[in-house]
Amino acid sequence: MSSLNSPWRRGATLLPFAVMVVTSLLVAFANPCLAQIRSTSPLSSLDMKALEQECLESIQNDDACSAIAERLEGMFAGEVPEAIRMLGGILRGEAMEPGKGWFRPAQKARDWDWIATQHAIDTDAAITKSEFQGDSVLFSRLDRNNDEMLQASDFDWSMASSYLREVSIANSVFRSIDKSMDAQVSKEEILAFFDKLRGEEDSISIDSFRRALPLGRSRGAYSPGDEPSKESLVRGFFSSEIGSHWEGPDVGDKAIDFELSTQDQKHRARLQDQLGEKPVVLIFGNFTCGPFRRIYPEFDAIAQRYRDQANFMAIYVREAHPEDGWIMESNSRLGVRLPQPKSIEERRSVATTCATKLNFSIPLLVDGMDDAVGNLYSGMPARAYVIDRDGLVVYKSGRGPFGFMPGEMEQALVLTLLSSNDSKDVTKTKSP
C-alpha cells in the first residue's frame, strides 16, 4: 500500500499524463492547424459518442436507421456535409460507389478546357503533337489513349469514360499474370501464365486465353469475404477508419502547413519547405487498404518520372481494415492482418512494413496518433493532392478507393508544370 502512495509512485502515475500533455503541445506546435480544424469540423456540433451509441442500438431496425439519417441531414441547412451524407448512406444500407456518400469526383484547377483555351481551340476540337505548346514527353503523358491527339476524352475520369472501363479490363489481365503483386510482370510470371494456360499443348488458342481471364463475370462491389456488415461500417465511420470526417482543403485553398517525421525517424519534413521552387504532390494511404497497396506502385512510378520537377510526400494514416475493425478476407489471404496501431511506435512499425513491402522511393511520413494531418487533408483512407509552387491546392482527388487515380493526378501535375513560367524545366521529364 505504502509503495502506491510514495512520491515516486505518484510521479509514475502522473508521468503518462504529463507525457501526453507535452506531446499534445508539441504536436499542436508542429501542426498549428490542429486547433483550427477541430473548431471547423462540420460535425463539431454533434455529440459523436452519443450518436454512435444511438446508431449501434438501432442497427437492426431499418426504419429507426432511416429516421436517424433524416434527422441528421435535416440539421444542416444548405449543403449536407460529406460525412453526414456518408453516415446517412450507411444507415440506409446504400451501396458504396462513386458519387454516393462521401465519394465525390476530383477537383481540378486545370482541365481540358484550360489546355484548349491555351491553344485557342474549341473544346470539341483536338490538339496534335506538332500543335502542342510544350514538351513532347508531357504531350505523351497527357495523351492517355496514345492516338497522337489530345482531346476532351483524354481528360474524362468519370464512370462514363469508355477508356476507364477498358483500363479496368487491362488491369485485370495484368493482375492475373502479376502473381507476386508487385505491379511488375516478370519474364517468369509471363512464362508461368503461359505454361498454366497451354496445359499439354505447345501454344495457347484465343479461346483458352479468353477463358483464363476474368472477363464478363459479374463483379460485385466486394471480393468474397470482404463485404462489411452495417455495424462494421458504423464502427468504422465513427473511428475514422473508413475515412476522415473532415473534407480537406478545396482547389484554390491555401494548403495548410504541417510537419511530420519519416517512419524510420531519420528525417522530418515540412510542407512549407518543399514549396516555392516546385509543386508538391501529397499521397495519403494505409497498409490494410487493398486498393492502396495495388495502386501505390503507379504513384511511385510517377514520383520517379517527375522527381526533378516536383516534390513528393507520402503520409501514412490510420489503418482502414485492421483486424479489430472491418476485416477484409482478401487481406487475410495475403497475410495482411494487424490491429489498429495504438501508439506512435506501432504506427511507425506498420509504416515501415508498408514502405518496405511497397518499395517506397519517396519519404513516408507518419501521421500522429491524433490523425491531425490525415484529418486536415481528409487523407483517410487514401487520397492525393497537387499543390502549386505558391502553396495553392490545384488538384484534390476523390476519396479512396474510388477516387484514388494515379493517371488523373499525373495529368493535373503535368498541367501545373505547363502553367508555370519556367516550363522549359519540363524537358527534364523522364521518358516512361
Closer Cβ to Ca ion, 100 or 119, answer by number = 119
Q: Which of 24, 58, 66, 145 binds Ca ion (CB under 5 A)?
A: 145
Pairwise CA distance, residues 102 & 117, whole Å: 32
Determine, following the binding rule CB under 5 A, whether residue 184 of this chain makes contact with Ca ion: yes
Cell numbers standing for residue 139? 504531350
**Using CB under 5 A, which of the segments 16-24, 82-90, 184-192, 291-299 binds Ca ion?**
184-192
Burial of 374 (0-12, 13-18, 19+ CB in 10 A): buried
Q: Is 77 helix (H, G, I), strand (E, B) or coil?
A: coil
Tell which one of 111, 135, 154, 319 touches Ca ion (CB under 5 A): 154
Cα–Cα dist 315/336, whole Å: 19
Q: Which of 82, 111, 135, 178 binds Ca ion (CB under 5 A)?
A: 178
Identify which range of 37-45, 58-66, 136-144, 308-316 contacts Ca ion by CB under 5 A: 136-144
Size of the site for Ca ion (CB under 5 A): 9
Task: Say whether residue 180 binds Ca ion (CB under 5 A).
Answer: yes
Please select the residue that binds Ca ion; options are 82, 111, 143, 408, rule is CB under 5 A.
Answer: 143
Q: Is 127 in the site for Ca ion (CB under 5 A)?
A: no
The verdict on 188 binding Ca ion (CB under 5 A) reads: no
Smallest CA-to-CA distance from 317 within 245, 368, 363, 281 is with: 368
Identify which of residues 76 and 163 has a Cβ nearer to Ca ion in the complex: 163
**Torsion angle defined by CA atoms of residues 123, 124, 126 and 127, in that order, rounded to the nearest 10 degrees:** -10
Candidates 173-181, 332-340, 385-393, 399-407; binding stretch for Ca ion (CB under 5 A): 173-181
By CB under 5 A, name the one of 62, 97, 166, 182 that touches Ca ion.
182
CB of 251 closer than 8 Å to CB of 396: yes
What minimum distance in Å lies between the beta carbon of 144 and Ca ion? 7
131 binds Ca ion per the rule CB under 5 A: no
Residue 18 or 191: the one with the smaller Cβ distance to Ca ion is 191
Element (H, E) at 315: strand 311-316
Our measurement of the distance from residue 97's CA atom to the centroid of its chain's CA atoms, rounded to an integer in Å, reads 15
Q: Which amino acid is it at 84?
A: I
Residue closer to Ca ion (CB basis): 168 or 359:
359
Q: Is 326 exposed, middle or buried (0-12, 13-18, 19+ CB in 10 A)?
A: buried
Return the C-alpha cell found at 245: 470526417
Closest to Ca ion by CB, 168 vs 186, is 186
Dig out the grid coordinates for 100 from the structure. 454516393
Shortest distance in whole angstroms from residue 359 CB to Ca ion = 12
DSSP 122-133: -TTS-EETTT-S
CB closest to Ca ion, residue no? 180
Cβ atoms of 240 and 380 within 8 Å: the answer is yes
6 sits near Ca ion (criterion: CB under 5 A): no
Considering the rule CB under 5 A, would residue 166 count as an interface residue with Ca ion? no
Q: Is 147 in the site for Ca ion (CB under 5 A)?
A: yes
Rounded distance between C-alpha atoms, residue 404 and residue 381, angstroms: 10
The cell numbers describing 98, all together, are 462513386
300 binds Ca ion (CB under 5 A): no
Region near Ca ion per CB under 5 A, out of 93-101, 133-141, 146-154, 203-211: 146-154
What does the chain come to in residues?
432
| 98 or 297: CB nearest Ca ion | 297
- The minimum distance between CB 286 and Ca ion, in angstroms, equals 22
Q: Which residues bind Ca ion (CB under 5 A)?
A: 143, 145, 147, 149, 154, 178, 180, 182, 184
